[in-house]
Every structure is written in C-alpha cells, then in structure tokens.
Amino acid sequence: MNPSASGWIDKFGSLAKSYQETYKDFNTLYFGLRETGFVYGIHTGLPAFVTPEHKLSEDEKAKINLLNALYFTFIDKHTDGNFADFLECIFKFYETLEVNQASFLGKIFTGSKTSSKLEKLIDSRVYLEDNIISKTFNSFITNSLLFIDVLLFKRYLTKAENIEKHAQKLEYLVINVTYHALNSKEKNKKDEKLAQLLASSLSFIDGDNQNFDGSYRNILLANDSKWENAYLLDMACLTVWEDNSLEYKESEFIYGIGKDLGFAHEHIQEALAQVTHFFIENAETIPFLKDQNLALQFYDNMGRLVNRLILRNSKRLQKELSESAELVALLSKSTVKDLSKEEKKKVQRQLLDIFKSIPSLAIFLLPGGAVLLPIFIKLIPKLLPSSFDENRIEQSEK
C-alpha cells in the first residue's frame, strides 16, 4: 500500500474487510491506537494487517492510522456495515464539520469516486503545510491532533447535531490542558516545539485568541464523555513526560486534572506508565525531540524524501540506467572511490537528463537540486525491483 498514490483507500478497504474483528470494541481500539502513538499524535506503528512495500514516512503512517481509526470506529457502531457505507458516512461527517470549505474545495470534488475525494480530504487533515519546501524545512508536517477527528466521528455516529460546536469545545479543552500542563513544569526548548506543534494543529478554533486563565476547568468538569476525557488525560501526560522526568508540581497537576476528569488514582497511574513506556521505546524517532540545526534538518528530511522517491521509481530508474552504460560505470565506481571533478560533472549532467523523464523526481531539477545527488548515489546500490502500482487490488482481495 502506498498512501502517497491514488487508490490507497480502496486498497485499505480490500485488506480491512478480512480483519473486522481486529478490535472487539472501542476500548480495545483506543488502547491499540495509543500503543502505536496515534492517540499522542505521533506515528510509530501501523495496523497489523497493513504491510507496506517501502518504509513509510510519518505523514504516510498518519494517513493510514487516521483511516484505520475512523473505519473501526464505524465498525464498532455498525458491525454489519461495509466499506462503501463507511466511505459515504465519513465523507458526510467531514462535510458536516465543514473542514472541506477551504481553498482546496475544488480539488476535493475533482474525483468521481467517494474514495478519491476522501484521499484528498485526508491529505488536508494530515498535512499542516501544503508545499514541498515548507515540509522540507519544517519537521512538524503532520497534524498532532488527528485523534480529535476520531472522537468527533464516534460522537457523530450517535449524535450528529452541533458536531462543529462540539469540535470547537474539544480543541479548546485540549489546547488549555496542554498549555497548563506545560506551565506546571520548568520549560525547555522541546516544550516550545511541542507547544508550537499543538497550536499549529488546531482546526476548529484560533489558538491566538484563546483565554488561558484557567476558566476551561468549568467546561472540563462538565464534560461527560469517557473517551474524550481519557484523551485529555493522555495528552496532559504526554506534555509533562516529554523529558522523561516527573517533578512534584507536574505530578500534582496530572493527578488534579485526572480527578477533574473523573478518573481514579489507578487509572491516572496507568496513563503515566503508558506514556513513559512509549517515550522510552520511541524517543529516538519522535520528531519534536530531535534538536538539529536548519542545514542538518534540511538534509535529513530531504534524504528521507529522496529515499522514498527513488524506491518508488526504481523500476523506471533501472530502465533508464540500463540505457546509459557510462553512467552506470561511473555510479558503480563512486561507491568504492571518489570520482574526479570531470566524472562528477558527467554524472550530474546525465542524471539530471534522466530525472527529466521521471516527473516525480523533478525536485532534482530545482535550483540547488544538485546537492541531493550524493544522497541519490548513496542509494543506488539499494535499488530493487518493485511493483509499479502498490495500490493495485488483486482478484483475491476483491
């Protein structure tokens, strides 16, 4: 499955129909999604039945995890519902939320199939920025509050009225809970990154116009949704535990907010233990924990992007390379020894000619694109044959 190419939602549906018993209820779904990081807004895992051909980026995992969470939330309420029914329902849900009333409205409705429209809509929910340059320089490229969509969809399935107003309330509570959790501790640079990520992920309210005077607790005390409250507690735990330490004031805040949310002492301890375990297991891969200067961040992000593009165009690249014996010889030589200045120019010239024939590699043709060539050359030995269409549905899957 390739969530960066069209047809991936239909592919997911063809796989998921055989795994409708994956989560026996919403309780199982919630804790499963928390374990893989989706509840925290961090994507370290995928549904067990999804096996991608290539290593996926965080935003691609986010797309799959969001669709997976929404689908099994639907199945929890409609055990006999098929995937087509789910697609119609989820699209009406997003229409009701009016998240498709933005500048991408025309793009969403260009596809004839509901799944094609939903692919574009999910893109709009996952990405915080919509251009390749901003994604390259900004490691915060995915919406960290995607689980709010799941909670809202769960509510929509039983109580569709006033769903947009409820969305505003839920985001208001999340941003206030995390803001006060941050203020319960001594702040550091990573706290600032986390705060920036959460604020930029808001969809239904304007974070710049919020009141953080503590009055949110009156709304918090009146909130009676078990799973919304569980999510708010987990987000508070995430906020104080990002540095793998818990000071007395932080503990006081967490247990206080947990009590306000209606949870017993044991439940609050379990929430803290789970986020601790998650950080220990995934600290090296969590984006906002990484401190890099701009140049290193650019090269690292571009390296991942180039890696993905090359792997997914390997068949075409092999065909093009096979027609250039001199280029292949020079690339092979570059893996064992340095090329001369003239040889490097030949490689650059011939590679750029090849990239012109593969539109998805047009990034190499941008000003400064030549700086990516060392990444490309490094990846050449890893080129392996791959299926041309990873989202093709086999007859057995239909």
Alpha-carbon gap, residue 129 to 108, rounded angstroms: 17
- Per-residue confidence (pLDDT) for residue 161, from 0 to 100: 87
- Per-residue confidence (pLDDT) for residue 300, from 0 to 100: 53
C-alpha distances (whole Å) from 332 to each of 152, 297, 303, 327, 329 are 54, 28, 20, 9, 5
Q: What is the pLDDT along the chain (398 residues), one digit of tens a residue?
A: 788 778 899 999 999 888 888 888 999 999 999 998 999 988 888 888 888 877 788 888 999 999 999 999 999 998 877 899 999 999 899 988 876 544 334 444 445 577 888 888 888 888 765 444 444 444 445 678 899 999 999 999 998 888 999 999 999 999 888 888 877 766 555 556 666 667 777 777 776 666 677 788 888 988 989 999 999 999 988 888 755 555 645 678 889 999 999 999 999 999 988 988 888 888 777 655 554 444 444 445 555 556 666 666 666 776 776 667 777 777 777 766 777 888 877 877 777 777 666 765 655 655 555 555 565 655 554 443 333 346 666 555 55
What is the sign of the dihedral through the CA atoms of 19, 41, 393 and 319? Answer: negative
| Identity of the residue numbered 235 | M
Query: What are φ and ψ of residue 4, in 5° steps?
Result: -100, 5
Q: Is 226 helix (H, G, I), strand (E, B) or coil?
A: helix
Q: Which residues pair with 125 in a beta bridge?
A: none
DSSP structural state of residue 360: G
Of 380, 277, 294, 394, the closest CA to residue 330 belongs to 380
- Per-residue confidence (pLDDT) for residue 230, from 0 to 100: 96
CATH code reported for the domain at 162-291: 1.10.3680
Alpha-carbon gap, residue 365 to 374, rounded angstroms: 14
| Identity of the residue numbered 13 | G
- Per-residue confidence (pLDDT) for residue 335, from 0 to 100: 64
Where exactly are the structural domains of the chain?
1-160, 162-291, 294-382
Alpha-carbon gap, residue 37 to 275, rounded angstroms: 9
Of 41, 60, 373, 24, the closest CA to residue 195 belongs to 41
Q: What is the pTM of this model?
A: 0.70
Under 8 Å CB-to-CB from 304, ≥6 apart: which residues?
57
Under 8 Å CB-to-CB from 296, ≥6 apart: which residues?
none
Helix, strand, coil % over all residues of the chain, rounded to 5: 65, 0, 35
- Per-residue confidence (pLDDT) for residue 382, from 0 to 100: 45
Alpha-carbon gap, residue 33 to 274, rounded angstroms: 12
Instruction: Please count the helices (runs of H) and the strands (runs of E) in the chain.
Output: 19, 0
